[in-house]
Structure 1
Amino acid sequence: MKLSGTDPMDAATPTVLPDPAALRLTGALPEWNPEGDDTLVVLAIREETADVKTFVLAQKDPCVFRYQPGQFLTLDLDIGGESVNRCYTIASAPTRPHTLAITVKRVPGGPVSNHLHDHVTVGSTLRAIGPMGEFSCFTQGTPTPASKYLFLSGGSGITPLMSMARTFHDLGALRDTVFVHAARSPADIIFREELELMARNQPGTFRFAPICEADNPRAPWHGLRGRISLGVLEHVAPDYREREIFVCGPAPFMKAVREMLKGAGFDMARHHEESFDFAELARAEPELAAEVVSAELLQAIPEALEVPVTTYTIEFAKLKRSIECRSDMFVLDAARRAGVRLPSSCSKGLCGTCKSKLVSGTVDMKHGGGIRQREIDAGMALLCCSKPTSDLIVDR
């Protein structure tokens, strides 16, 4: 006898919910728009080495990510009640557009890397903008006019070059590529097994040549030893002068490679580098500018062009400091000259690290994508690319 109410057979049938992973593969998906929703969910965390983790990210609502291999994201993190922005290169490949991955090395005393390693778990959410950056073997979707590449990376500077290598591998693009990676020990070689697999999958066109400074305590190293040198390059890529060279790593590493290549007479127009340490790049830029243009010449330029120049007062509320800034100077540059230390990275309006709230006043800002329109509407500005058009009070 059938009882009134719900059919027992219906009650026994479980409700099947759609698999979020499967949803990402069905139908045409929209592109990620951080202006509309900048929140990414951590789908997976992978232990690469003892102090390096990869965080796989996706939007809650399925979407696809479009970017060039080698570009970066800027994370907007809340750490201890303070908003902190940091840039991380995308390590994944755009050929797998349903997720993004960043690979982060724990830095002793580093507030952001330690926060990510210690507090971010699967299911955590991160705010991000991007992708941004011009360091890529692709330009506007077109490969550079090169048939041979040499990738040189040190430490976690491997990430943009890994994105490029993964892209070529996925596309079946048989580019003659030599990938040299410098690590402290065999245990510190990031992505080692995957790169070795790529080499097996692309015999004759892809060679992986790691170089280690020391043995692993439990596994002696029988490969290249020491640091990247001209002798190493002549051994692994004797035709390196014919190759397009991409370099990424700590600032001393990149400086050593740059000087080595210059000394060998390499055509530096074919040398491309990415700053592993954005802060180091930012500190260097004012010094380079001072070497090229004197302060007297900078003051004379507006007069020669008959451009009126006004000096404004910039007050940093939290620091309790006030400085003067000319209308033809970026606020960040004026702060540096006055000895005011502010967070900054790329100094090109890209990364968002110097983003600050304007309590009052107006600026002329020409940014490169490191700030959202809704943030501009809320009174935020990037100090590295903002010139004052009035007196300012900055919430810093």
Structure 2
Amino acid sequence: MGKKTKKPGKGKEKTVIKTAKAEEKRARRETKKLSPEDDIDAILLSIQKEEAKKKEVHVDENVPAPSPRSNCTLNINPLKETALILYGGEFYNGSKTFVYGDLYCFDVEKLEWKLISSPNSPPPRSAHQAVAWKNYLYIFGGEFTSPNQERFHHYKDFWMLDLKTNQWEQLNLKGCPSPRSGHRMVRKLVSFTKLINSVNPYSSFNIVLHLVPFVANSKLNPPANEIKPIYLAVICYFQIYLYGGYSKEVSSDKNISEKGIIHSDMWSLDPRTWEWNKVKKSGMPPGPRAGFSMCVHKKRAMLFGGVVDREMEGDMIMSLFLNELYGFQLDNHRWYPLELRKEKSTKDKLKRSFEPKDNGVGEKISHNEIEEYATTEKVKNPVHHEEAGDLEITVDEISQHIETTMTVDCGVIAANGKPYESKSDLQNSVPLEVC
């Protein structure tokens, strides 16, 4: 057969447009001419001045749904499981990029949105991470992009939202991870028991106490003024784990204006001390990546997928998408790859179940009998054996193997579910149809 001529598509035109835009960006950077839209420092300063004008929390009820966006966060409100909290995100309309810093609450039962505006809010961002615990929502990192995508600013700040008062507070923590976006952050619940005689050391907002009276005195009948209350406390608190992400820095290479950094480090945050600690790699950890999925299941965290972006000459980006699955043990901080088991075929199941057994008379079942039984099972249950033998059976073929009569107590069941009363009824009956 001859080679078909391809119709001219839009792929080549898109490549030409992207290349032209990349050349224009590089030329502007070389001449050090920045448009006001690309001056991130001036934009963020202007936003900060506008935020300073806010004096109190304002909640707008039953507002329209948020505008289209990506790379926002959506969390369940710990104070009300039927409420969702949405924050931030970005939108690209084909020519300009818009980054948001608005806070919404969605009531699942009423199907209504609330728009919450409060003073001292975080600056707009996207590709950040948020976790919720008790009365608070915690946010770390993210990025701000200029409208022309000429400049990027990556955050490394840590914010806390009081879900009761809707007030924001920035926590200046020591030893925090480097600025990044596209990372993932999960929460681990820690609990233990301890004998205490004062709740003051554990009165912090991020620790939960369940007190049980406990008698422990050296004297059998001590004076009343010597009895000290002792409690068996079940102490619960949470830890935050952060992994991976992406950031940019100015490159010294003339062919590349900015250099991308793909992170593979892991950090933990202890709310008892509010200090970040770098987690040492152990086992078989995943490689650098961003934009992956991560969740906690029982005593381990699960990581899947991600993307690795590489800057090429002319401000072009090549992306490698991943489909790996990893597990991380939260108790001993050990990584290991995971692989889903494939369902075994009917032949393998029958061989394993029949080979060590006999047929009850002392004779072992032969492989030919196993093959014959497996073939019969495939015909009876074609849906369950598609992967085993890729068997394709039409409705007509299946109907040939289905008995149209059924003997019950020496009688025959008709199509209407009632027994035939005579042979003549059986001869004049209409056979069952398979549909």
TM-score when normalising by structure 2: 0.22
Higher helix share: 1
Higher strand share: 2
TM-score when normalising by structure 1: 0.24
